[in-house]
Structure 1
Amino acid sequence: MPFASVDSMEEEKEQFAEVDPSGRFGRYAELLGHGAVKKVYRAFDIQEGRDVAWNQIQLSKFIDMPYVVNKIHSEIELLKNLKNDNIIVLYHFWRDKEHNTLNFITEECVSGNLRDYRKKHRRVSMKALKNWSRQILQGLDYLHTHDPCVIHRDLNCSNIFINGNVGKVKIGDLGLATIVGKSHAAHSMLGTPGYMAPELYEEDYTELVDIYSFGMCLLEMATMEIPYSECESLAKLYRKVTSGVKPQAFNKVSDKELKDFIEKCIGQPRARPSAADLLMDPFLSDVDNC
């Protein structure tokens, strides 16, 4: 059954900058965000009558960088198989050979990423921080207990998204994620400096690197400072991280329970709790399940 009549479809096309091959999704010119790899546009699902996000990558930019294209494909293939309330939903994807673009449609989180949202709302209660934390951990628990285990590897506040009207938090940008077998060991170094666990630099790690990154996300949520932003170079940041020196922002956390909880997350790998363990932690015990 067609999604719309020919006449109405033509009217829609006049409004949209682009329509997908099925005619279901229309892209507007308005940018929701952009990064090193992709642009994200506001879009509309004609069939369901809802706002969505149209992610578009110009593959011509990466003609000499096949690893970037592989990263994008990995994100799409991964998203396609993940179904969880705290993970961004993928609806559809395709490659446009004429324009040499890769496009995929995901749900739109109306309030953007958690970093920008936190900056916009400077007065946030401890209850709200706990609520966000619980939802992020629920998403991580789903990834880490997925068969096979999925490690995000690049969790930070710019790729955690929020629907602020209902307080729903979702993990996105799984392009650096890796799927590992029963050994739960991975061997490659990728991620965002400042959020990367020390063992990531050694290229021998487990899913607990995501717990470290989560701890740094919570530190940023609490202080509105990016971890290790005081470091003038990657070399200095690397030396601090690998020698166990905590970021300066950690000393700005005044609440002892919060500080202790963050410290658990960014501790040594063997002492680091799992997402499931953290969800049972007394620090989060007074927060209702989301």
Structure 2
Amino acid sequence: MGCGAFKVVYKAIDQDEGIEVAWNEISVSGDLQSLDSLVSEVKLLKDIQHPHIIAFYDAWYDEDNLKVVLITERMTGGTIKNFIQKKGPFKLNVIKRWCKQILIGLDYLHSHNPPIVHHDIKSDNIFVNSITGIVKIGDLGLCTQLFEGKIKDVVGTLEFLSPESFEGTVSEAVDIWAFGMSVIEITTLEYPYSECKSNFGMVYRKITRGERPLAYYRINDQELLSFINDCISYKTETRKNAKELLEHPFLNILDGLSDARFISLRSDMELEKYLQELQISGTIPLLKSISSPALSSNKPDTGKGTPKNG
């Protein structure tokens, strides 16, 4: 079904229940610290039960192969990223329903005491049931409970990290920023900051300076932009939380003719002209190119592992 730097996921059958499940094998390489971290993750997963969070069923340690096996719910549509690549683009009412479900799941995590921070919200870690349309947050491997609000290392996927993450400051707001970047990715089919061509330094500078990814400027829907702006406000104190975002006008109307349309996006020519206008007005810095690979280009995911503080 999928693989990463340390994890391989297989489709399996639960012969007791007669259902398909996801069999996750995570390599620990005899590293006791990694094993302790995974044990903590398993304990946390057991406490998380919600309609918009991937269900956890069982776990054990395979000592012979130095792997931890996690058995979780399997979603028929796979990740939203793959689903869009195969079936998209989708109309605005679909995007709204997805956003609402993701936020409900985030609100559940953030409402725990202490709050649970996912740390790696992106379209690769959001799953869809292609039959029912239900969306769930998955891959909770980096989840932590927020006891102090500081971490030693920057964790997550580079292009989805918030500015404060690079300072080791963590709150529920880092998930909201990543969600906002995910909305940009889902609506434009372009990876955030793809114009940087996976250059860590370039992405880091753009994020810490508060510069939007080029894909953001392709969006030509003011209500959607307002919604995204509330997610990726540079200052955490002005960034909306999940509960507040659920009240945003963008999510208020989920049916009707106003939503039965595709998102308005600028073409390459329109984007070039719009960016020139923004540069002349001093709204954004000078840009060299608008080249921005789409999701369908199979761009390699640079977010594997744990990027260190730049």
Asked if these proteins are the same fold (TM beyond 0.5), I'd say yes
What is the CA deviation profile of residues 135-185 of structure 1, one whole-angstrom value per residue up to 9, with x for unaligned ones? 10001000000122101111111011111111111111111111013x6x2
Would you say the 8 A contact 1:156–1:213 is kept in 2?
yes
Residue 210 of structure 1, aligned match among 170, 175, 188: 175
Residue 187 of structure 1, aligned match among 135, 151, 159: 151
What is the CA deviation profile of residues 207-266 of structure 1, one whole-angstrom value per residue up to 9, with x for unaligned ones? 111100000010000011110111131001000000011000001111111111111100
SS in 1 for 2:230: helix
Aligned match of 1:229: 194
Residue 164 of structure 2, aligned match among 199, 209, 213: 199
Identity of aligned residues (%): 40
Shift of 1:67: 4.7
Shift of 1:33: 1.0
Aligned match of 1:12: none
Match runs of 1:66-215 below 5 Å: 66-181=32-147, 185-188=149-152, 189-215=154-180
Aligned match of 2:244: 277
Shift of 1:76: 2.1
CA–CA distance in 2 between the matches of 1:269 and 1:253? 23
CA–CA distance in 1 between the matches of 2:141 and 2:217? 32
Asked if 1:262 corresponds to 2:231, the answer is no
Asked if 1:220 corresponds to 2:185, the answer is yes
Asked if 1:250 corresponds to 2:216, the answer is yes
CA–CA distance in 2 between the matches of 1:125 and 1:253? 14
CA–CA distance in 2 between the matches of 1:37 and 1:72? 12
Asked if 1:58 corresponds to 2:58, the answer is no
Residue 5 of structure 2, aligned match among 12, 15, 36: 36
CA–CA distance in 2 between the matches of 1:139 and 1:103? 24
What TM-score comes out, normalization by structure 1 length?
Answer: 0.83
Would you say the 8 A contact 1:78–1:174 is kept in 2?
no
Would you say the 8 A contact 2:223–2:249 is kept in 1?
no
Match runs of 1:11-22 below 5 Å: none
SS in 1 for 2:205: helix
Select the structure with the greater relative contact order (CA < 8 A; seq sep ≥ 6). 2
SS in 2 for 1:155: coil
Amino acid in the other structure paired with 1:42: K
CA–CA distance in 2 between the matches of 1:100 and 1:190? 23
Shift of 1:129: 0.5
Aligned match of 1:286: 253
Would you say the 8 A contact 1:71–1:176 is kept in 2?
no
Structure 1: state its 5+ residue gaps.
1-31
CA–CA distance in 1 between the matches of 2:228 and 2:78? 24
Shift of 1:190: 0.7
The structure with more strand, counted as a fraction of residues: 1
Change (3 A) 1:260 1:160: same
Instruction: Name the count of aligned residue pairs.
Output: 252
Structure 2: state its 5+ residue gaps.
256-310
